[in-house]
C-alpha cells in the first residue's frame, strides 16, 4: 500500500462527489463540492458534495416519507436489517479502517479498532430492536387499565464529528433504526467518506429507501445544521461535538421543541492515588490520554497524581510516551498519527507554551514536527501543572499530558469537579471505600475505576453539566429515539371474584 493512497479491496466503497438520499447517490443541486485532505500528507483525497438547505430538505422529505412504513415494521424485521448491515461492516472492516485512516489520520490498528467498535453498535441495537417493551400499570381509578407503548419519535437529524468517522455515526443510527425512526445523518466535513461508505453498505443490506440518508457539507455545515434543527419534520436531533455548537443547536431547536441528545466537550480528570497500582495507572493514563492522539471527548485532560507517587509516576509515564512512534497512519509500527488540522496544532501548541510560561516543565516532547508534516505534534508530558494554566480549564484535544500534584482526596475531588463540563472521569485506587466514595463524588456521566478505557456499546455513554445530556449505547440509548405513549382503557370493569 502506498503511503497516501490506500488500495481498497472494494473501490466502489469510496463515494466521490455524491451523497446518499432516498436510496440514491446524488450530487448537490448547485454542483458544488468541497475538498477533503489527508491530515498526514495534506494531499487531496477527493471531493464531496456541498449540500445546502434545499438539498438537505430533500433528504428530510425522503426520511419523512419512509417513516410511516418503517415504523410499522416489526422489531424483528428491523433487527434483521441492522444485523445484515452489521455483517457487511464486518466483511468490509478492512476497507472501512483504511478509509478512517485516510481521512482522519489515526494509525491503521486504531482504525481497525474503530471499525469493530462502530459495527458493535449495529450488533447491539439489532439485539435490542425486538425487545422494546411497554408497561402495564395498576390504575388509581377502579375499572381503568393503564398501559404504555414505546413509539419511534420520527425523523431524526444526526450530526457527527470527525474524531470517530464510523463509530459516532453507527452509535446514533443503530438505536434510531432499532426504535423505528428514519434518519438524515450529516457527515463530518473533514471525514465524509467513511459515513458515505457506511451508506453504501446500508444500501446493500436492503435498508429501505429514505430510511437512511447521509448528506455532506463543509462550508454549508451551519446551514445544514439549521435546517435539521428548525424543520418541523425532524422530531429529534442527536449531536456529538463542541459545547459551543451544542448551545447553538439547542437554541435553533427551540422553535420546534425537538427531542435532543447532546454529547459535548469534556475535560476529564484522571486521578491517581498513592495506594494505586502504579503500573496499572500508568498504562491507564497512556490509553486514556493518547487514544487517537488525544482527540476524543473522553480523553484524560487533567492528570492529578498524589504527591507521594508523583515523581515516580511522571518518570514511568514519560518513558512510555518517549517510546511512541509518530507518523502517517499506514506506516508500519506507527502508534500515533497526526492531528486533524492546523487549528488543532495551534491550540495544542498554545497550551504547551502557556504551561511553560506559567512554570510548567516539559519533560517529554513539546514541539511541532514539521519534518513529518504540518499536522504533527510530539506526544508531550508536562510536570508542575497548576490550575492557572489554560490546559486546566480548556479541553486540549491533543497529545499533551499535564501532570498536577495533589495532597488529599477532598482537595482533588473539589478541583476535578470545578470544571463546567462533566463527561468522563477516571481514578486509580485499591482502597474499596475510597473507590465508592470518589466514584459517587465525581460530577461526570461516566467513571473509569482502575481503567482508562470505558467505551462499550453495552454501556451508557454521556455526560452531565455542559457536557450535555442523553445517553448513547446500552439499553438506555434506544430511549433517546422513542416516546412513551400512555393508554388508559376506561370502564374495563372490576376483577372477577375468585
Binding mask 248-287 for ligand SIN (x = CB under 6 A): ---------------x------------------------
Q: Does 240 bind ligand SIN (CB under 6 A)?
A: yes
Q: Does 339 bind ligand SIN (CB under 6 A)?
A: no
Shortest Å, Cβ 455 to ligand SIN: 3
Q: Is 263 a catalytic residue?
A: yes
Beta-carbon-side half-sphere exposure of residue 369 (alpha carbons within 13 Å): 21
Pair 214, 198: CB distance under 8 Å: yes
Residue 411: CB atoms within 10 Å? 12
Sole binder of ligand SIN in the list 228, 298, 339, 348 (CB under 6 A): 298
What is the four-CA torsion angle of 339, 344, 350, 355, rounded to 10 degrees?
-60
Sole binder of ligand SIN in the list 101, 163, 220, 474 (CB under 6 A): 163
Q: Does 455 bind ligand SIN (CB under 6 A)?
A: yes
As to burial, measured by CB atoms within 10 angstroms (0-12 exposed, 13-18 middle, 19+ buried), residue 268 is buried
Sole binder of ligand SIN in the list 66, 81, 297, 334 (CB under 6 A): 297
Sole binder of ligand SIN in the list 296, 301, 306, 364 (CB under 6 A): 296
The sign of the dihedral angle between the CA atoms of 366, 367, 368, 369 is negative
As to burial, measured by CB atoms within 10 angstroms (0-12 exposed, 13-18 middle, 19+ buried), residue 426 is buried
Axis-axis angle for helices 93-104, 192-205 (nearest 10): 160
Q: Which grid cell sits at 178?
A: 432499532
Shortest Å, Cβ 381 to ligand SIN: 22
Phi-psi region of 188 (alpha: psi -120 to 50; beta: other; left: phi over 0): beta
Q: Which grid cell sits at 366?
A: 513539546
Stretch that binds ligand SIN, among 35-43, 82-90, 280-288, 294-302 (CB under 6 A): 294-302
The phi, psi pair for 380, rounded to 5°, reads: -125, 140
User: Catalytic pick from 263, 409, 472, 480?
Assistant: 263
Shortest Å, Cβ 238 to ligand SIN: 12
Closest-by-Cβ residue to ligand SIN is 455
Question: Which residue's CB is nearer to ligand SIN, number 364 or number 455?
Answer: 455
Q: Does 164 bind ligand SIN (CB under 6 A)?
A: yes
Q: Does 243 bind ligand SIN (CB under 6 A)?
A: no
Q: Which residues bind ligand SIN (CB under 6 A)?
A: 163-164, 167, 240, 263, 296-298, 455, 461
Amino acid at each position: 500500500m502506498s503511503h497516501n493512497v490506500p488500495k481498497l479491496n472494494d473501490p466502489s466503497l469510496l463515494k466521490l462527489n455524491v451523497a446518499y438520499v432516498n436510496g440514491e447517490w446524488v450530487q448537490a443541486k448547485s454542483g458544488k463540492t468541497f475538498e477533503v485532505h489527508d491530515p498526514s500528507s495534506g494531499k487531496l483525497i477527493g471531493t464531496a458534495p456541498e449540500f445546502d438547505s434545499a438539498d438537505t430538505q430533500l433528504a428530510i422529505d425522503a426520511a419523512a416519507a419512509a417513516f410511516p412504513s418503517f415504523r410499522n415494521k416489526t422489531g424483528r424485521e428491523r433487527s434483521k436489517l441492522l444485523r445484515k448491515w452489521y455483517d457487511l461492516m464486518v466483511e468490509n472492516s478492512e476497507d472501512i479502517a483504511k478509509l478512517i485512516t485516510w481521512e482522519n489520520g489515526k494509525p491503521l490498528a486504531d482504525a481497525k479498532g474503530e471499525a469493530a467498535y462502530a459495527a458493535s453498535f449495529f450488533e447491539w441495537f439489532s439485539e435490542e430492536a425486538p425487545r422494546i417493551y411497554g408497561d402495564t400499570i395498576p390504575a388509581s381509578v377502579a375499572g381503568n387499565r393503564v398501559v404504555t407503548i414505546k413509539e419511534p419519535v420520527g425523523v431524526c437529524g444526526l450530526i457527527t464529528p470527525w474524531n470517530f468517522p464510523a463509530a459516532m455515526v453507527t452509535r446514533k443510527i443503530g438505536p434510531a433504526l432499532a426504535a423505528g425512526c428514519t434518519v438524515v445523518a450529516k457527515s463530518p466535513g473533514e471525514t465524509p467518506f467513511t459515513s458515505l461508505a457506511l451508506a453504501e453498505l446500508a444500501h446493500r443490506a436492503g435498508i429501505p429507501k429514505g430510511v437512511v440518508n447521509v448528506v455532506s457539507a463543509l462550508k454549508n455545515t451551519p446551514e445544514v445544521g439549521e435546517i435539521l434543527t428548525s424543520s418541523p419534520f425532524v422530531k429529534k436531533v442527536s449531536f456529538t461535538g463542541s459545547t459551543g455548537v451544542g448551545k447553538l443547536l439547542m437554541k435553533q431547536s427551540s422553535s420546534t421543541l425537538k427531542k435532543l441528545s447532546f454529547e459535548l466537550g469534556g475535560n476529564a480528570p484522571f486521578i491517581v492515588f498513592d495506594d494505586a497500582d502504579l503500573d496499572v495507572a500508568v498504562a491507564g493514563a497512556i490509553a486514556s490520554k493518547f487514544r487517537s492522539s488525544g482527540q476524543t471527548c473522553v480523553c484524560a485532560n487533567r492528570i492529578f497524581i498524589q504527591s507521594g507517587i508523583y515523581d515516580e509516576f511522571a518518570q514511568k509515564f514519560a518513558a512510555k510516551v518517549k517510546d511512541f512512534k509518530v507518523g502517517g497512519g499506514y506506516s508500519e509500527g506507527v502508534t500515533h498519527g497526526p492531528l486533524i488540522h492546523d487549528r488543532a496544532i495551534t491550540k495544542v501548541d498554545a497550551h504547551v507554551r502557556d504551561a511553560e510560561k506559567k512554570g510548567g516543565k516539559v519533560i517529554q516532547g513539546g514541539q511541532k514536527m514539521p519534518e513529518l508534516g504540518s499536522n504533527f505534534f510530539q506526544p508531550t508530558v508536562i510536570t508542575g501543572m497548576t490550575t492557572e494554566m489554560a490546559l486546566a480549564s480548556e479541553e486540549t484535544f491533543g497529545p499533551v499530558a499535564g501532570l498536577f500534584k495533589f495532597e488529599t482526596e477532598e482537595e482533588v475531588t473539589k478541583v476535578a469537579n470545578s470544571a463546567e463540563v462533566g463527561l468522563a472521569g477516571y481514578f486509580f485506587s485499591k482502597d474499596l471505600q475510597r473507590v465508592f466514595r470518589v466514584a459517587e463524588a465525581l460530577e461526570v456521566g461516566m467513571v473509569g475505576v482502575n481503567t482508562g478505557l470505558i467505551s462499550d456499546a453495552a454501556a451508557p455513554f454521556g455526560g452531565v453539566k455542559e457536557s450535555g445530556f442523553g445517553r448513547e449505547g446500552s439499553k438506555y440509548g434506544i430511549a433517546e429515539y422513542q416516546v412513551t405513549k400512555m393508554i388508559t382503557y376506561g370502564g374495563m370493569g372490576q376483577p372477577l371474584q375468585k
